[in-house]
Structure 1
Amino acid sequence: MGLVDTLMGKESSALLALDISSSRVKLLELTGDATRMQVKSYATEDLPPNAVADNQIANAEVVAEAIGKAVKRSDTRLNTAAVAVTGSSVISKIIDMPATLSEDEIEQQIGFEADQYIPYPIEDVSLDFQILGPSERDPDMNSVLLAACRRDTVDMRVAAVEMAGLRARLVDVEAYALQNACQLLVSHLSGAGAGQTVAVVDFGASNTCVNVVHDQETVYTREQSFGGRQLLEEIQRRMEIPASEALRMLRSGELASEVRSDVLPNFAELMAQQIDRSLQFFFSSFTESDTVDQVLISGGCALLPEIDEMVERHLGISTKVGNPLHGVRVSASARRNRVDMEGPALMVATGLAMRSFH
């Protein structure tokens, strides 16, 4: 059972990670293993407006063209790829099943009972599952994570990959890919995060995903509709410039004085409010910790100048920019300085690429 060959990484093989966001395609290839990785290939390609809308691919041909350009620029030799669907398009549920069941038997039983958990006709969804381990409620049962996504959402991503001349080997869920990258990010902290509660907040173009890692284990996740698009639109409005020029300004760091002195600090305050709101939900649902030791921000918004310092002033919690590829070896063709500079925006791509090691 799976969205293509597998969801959530039950198999391991060399995979080319393709993070398809609303504004660009990010390509990343990692080699080695989970303890000693190397960035073998890396490239990005911008997408035109509306090629991806509301987290769905609206024009597979245009996205395929961007993937093809990124592949050519990266000089990768891989032709098997991993992509991800957004958490908002996925239904997930943890169910208990007898520990005596094999994976084949679990797959068969889920097929029979899926309509109890999924509010769509079974023929319209792609399903997968992962055995999490013994149930806390009953030692004779296993907790099983069931994930389902509308088939048309999966098919559009697979179509874009295949039109680019690649094979879609794995379709993951962005939230799960982020959890992979979070574990890598936290491992860079003092003591590898042991005994600490760390909030990793990934700010994308349209969505923000919060992962709280307590004592090296992800204990809380939350996704909300907020991202860099709000900043882009405010710059357009203030400066009276087109979206393309506002985006160029943000990516180059060549920000007008009005943006630096007013727009950016206001946006940092909004970022802090989003983080604080998510942490309040976390504290209300998790009894083992009532404080967060550190906040790590990532995603495209983390590339904004001095954004961690501005967020920290509003939040009152130590805040740093997190780079999952910090200290990772980089091949000459992938360009060390570019990977270092853009690393904080590569959380999903890193999590996908790490599926090669699982």
Structure 2
Amino acid sequence: MFFKSKKVIGLDIGTSSIKLAEMDFGRSGAQLLSFGFAPTPPNSVSGGEIVDIASVGMAIQSLISEVKTKRKQIATAMWGTAVIVKKITIPRMDRKLVKDQIRFEAEQYIPFDINNISLAHHILSTSASPDTMDILLIAAQNELVTQYTQVIEVSGYSCSVLDVSGFALANSFELNYGKMPGEVVGILNFGASITNFVVVHNGEVIFCRDIPVGGANYTNEIHKAMGITVGEAEALKLSAVSRREVPDEVHSIISATNEAVGEEIRSSLDFLSATTNGLVLTRCFYTGGSSATSGLVDTVSRATGLRMEPFNPFIKIKANAKKFSREYLDQISNFAGVVTGLGIREQGDSE
């Protein structure tokens, strides 16, 4: 008798790169079987929206063929301004009635046409009152949902899990660090065009926001200030990150942009406090390709007053030493937070 596998391919579709992780997850823990990395076709993904489905689909198809997996199901994640995650409080009721109530609540809290969104919710255990219940409301514009499912279909595969990038990041974090009881933990994933900011309390995501700052901000500022092409600006930024010699002006621009990013992060912390009755982070971890930007982590730490800790997605994930050297795992660590969280999902998962 043949049993259909529920195992999926984790796929993180970003502005500048597409990451793939094929994993096993069993009694002995998680194991990394394959990892793939490819550039996203230029101008094909913008602000989380897939604007060129055909070219991204082809890139995905090519990447999957490189790793030679037999799996056909994909878990991927949406991000950007067309996805909203909001913690709300409603009168306590039977859990079976919550789903009907959520659509009414969403009309008050979600700035999209209620008829054009996909809704999900998660009941939290954080409510301080016996008369109320805290709900994490997740809404995505239907057009975005369609883009992500279509791009997987165009690549020749099936989208069996459609997650939110921040939740996938939190899943990877919990796998590696546990629930951290009593801690209020922030995770910052500095990407090319956005920074995922997730807050986890006692193993539950209580705050999830995509902050519109990332590596592209540095490139654009260098491009504008120095009057050079975007490609030349990107090359100078990468040279600075690699500590190669660049004009002093580049370092000045990067430093000024670090300050702007630090202010954005601090504003998000203020928003967290305002929407969670003064909740304050006890720890903050960072990851993402843009986190290597010179001085960024130190600037964010100074702006927020938080001690920043690197997030390692391979603390508890085993990898075949013959296939993945420790040096390689260190190289991909900053890019693997979201995709490893997707790779441990299974077909039919609802959480």
TM-score norm. by structure 2 comes to 0.79
Listed one character per residue, the Cα deviations across residues 229-275 of structure 1 (whole Å, up to 9, x for unaligned) are 11111233455543344445555744443367423333332332222
SS of the residue 1:317 aligns to = coil
Question: Counterpart of 1:171?
Answer: 162
Question: Counterpart of 1:78?
Answer: 71
Aligned residues: 336
Q: CA RMSD in A?
A: 3.6
Alignment of 1:1-358 (within 5 A): 13-33=6-26, 36-86=29-79, 88-92=81-85, 94=88, 98-99=93-94, 101=96, 109=100, 116=107, 119-120=112-113, 122=115, 124-132=116-124, 137-138=129-130, 145-184=136-175, 186-187=177-178, 193-214=180-201, 217-237=204-224, 240-248=227-235, 250=237, 253-254=241-242, 255-258=244-247, 261-287=251-277, 290=280, 292-305=281-294, 307-326=296-315, 328-331=317-320, 332-333=322-323, 336-356=326-346
Distance 1:340 1:184 in 2: 18
Distance 1:54 1:289 in 2: 29
Opposite residue 283 of structure 1, the aligned amino acid is: S
Q: Which runs of 5+ in 2 are unaligned?
A: none
Instruction: Give 1:326 deviation, angstroms.
Output: 3.6
Opposite residue 169 of structure 2, the aligned amino acid is: L
Opposite residue 159 of structure 2, the aligned amino acid is: A
Distance 2:157 2:197 in 1: 31
Percent identity, aligned pairs only, is 25
Stretch deviating more after TM superposition (208-217 or 128-137): 128-137
Distance 2:345 2:80 in 1: 18
Distance 1:344 1:287 in 2: 32
Q: Taking structure 1 as reference, are residues 289 and 168 closer, same or farther at Cα in structure 2, changes over 3 Å only?
A: closer
Distance 1:144 1:315 in 2: 27
**Is the 2:258–2:295 Cα contact (8 Å) retained in structure 1?**
no
Opposite residue 128 of structure 1, the aligned amino acid is: A
Distance 1:111 1:289 in 2: 24
Instruction: Give 1:89 deviation, angstroms.
Output: 1.3
Instruction: Give 1:154 deviation, angstroms.
Output: 1.1
Q: Which runs of 5+ in 1 are unaligned?
A: 1-11
